[in-house]
Structure 1
Amino acid sequence: MQKRVLIIENDQDIRTLVSFILEEEGFETLSCPEPKDLEPIHEFKPNVILIDEFINNQPGHRFCLKIKQSEKLSRIPVIILSTANNIEMIVEECKANDYVRKPFDVQVMVDKVMNLIDNTPLSV
């Protein structure tokens, strides 16, 4: 079964680029600028979620925390994408699994996604 990655990023160009890169690596992707709630996650059932720290109406880490506090979604690995200097602290606070600094190295991002998918137990 094809592995799925949900990309939450308000910059259309970055969404398109990240989707293209991950699809070339064999992933199925869904990208959106800013979900209003957790519904896209429930519907798409991603193996990994990439969240930009600076989405429009709320910081990405707040959305990450909502995911991690949801009993059904908390096991899905989350990677924060950010230019923030204090990204390590943000990741720790929101219980994200990893981060990728922007501008990102394509191979580093792909490796982190693959590593999290390979090391995550299957959901029930």
Structure 2
Amino acid sequence: MRKKILYIEDDPDMADIVSEIMQFEEYDVITDNGKAMYRLLKDNEIGLILMDEGLSWCWGSSLCKELRSNEATAEIPIIMISAVREIDDIAQHCGANAYIRKPFEIYDVIDAVNDFYPKDDFAV
């Protein structure tokens, strides 16, 4: 079974870029703007969430806090991705495990995901 990531992003171009990068690394990436997040988490075995801070309808950090307060999702690693200058502070305050600052290098995403994806979920 391939490793699954949920990427909460409402910019289709950015979602495509990150999805393509991670597919080369043997990850399946499910993208969503955040509105179907809970259904996708329920229907899929998601090992990690990448989340943009500046969504068109809400803040990713607010969704991150919701996930952290929900017993069923509290332990899923979350990596915030944003061009917001204070993303380091935002990620820390919302309970994210890490952050990636836009613009990023391809290996920034690969390294962060590989560092935080649960090791026991890796396919053998």
TM-score by length of 2: 0.91
Residue 19 of structure 2 corresponds to which residue in structure 1?
A: 19
Q: CA deviation at 1:118?
A: 4.4
Deviations, residues 61-105 of structure 1 (Å, cap 9, x unaligned): 000111111101111000000011111110111100000000111
The whole-number CA distance in structure 2 between the counterparts of 1:118 and 1:34 is 22
RMSD over equivalenced CA pairs, Å = 1.8
The whole-number CA distance in structure 2 between the counterparts of 1:37 and 1:116 is 20
The whole-number CA distance in structure 1 between the counterparts of 2:30 and 2:36 is 15
Residue 3 of structure 1 corresponds to which residue in structure 2?
A: 3
Is this contact kept in 2: 1:77–1:120, CA < 8 A? no
State the SS of the aligned residue for 2:117: helix
Q: CA deviation at 1:45?
A: 2.3
Residue 51 of structure 1 corresponds to which residue in structure 2?
A: 51
The share of aligned pairs that are identical, in percent, is 28
Between the two proteins, the alignment pairs up a number of residues equal to 122
User: Structure 1: where are the runs of 5+ without partners?
Assistant: none
The whole-number CA distance in structure 2 between the counterparts of 1:118 and 1:66 is 21
The whole-number CA distance in structure 2 between the counterparts of 1:22 and 1:121 is 16
The whole-number CA distance in structure 2 between the counterparts of 1:99 and 1:18 is 14
State the SS of the aligned residue for 1:85: coil
State the SS of the aligned residue for 1:55: coil
- Structure with greater contact order relative to length (CA < 8 Å, sep ≥ 6): 2
TM-score by length of 1: 0.91
Residue 31 of structure 2 corresponds to which residue in structure 1?
A: 31
Q: How does 1:57-72 map to 2 (within 5 A)?
A: 57-72=57-72
* Counterpart amino acid of residue 22 in structure 1: M
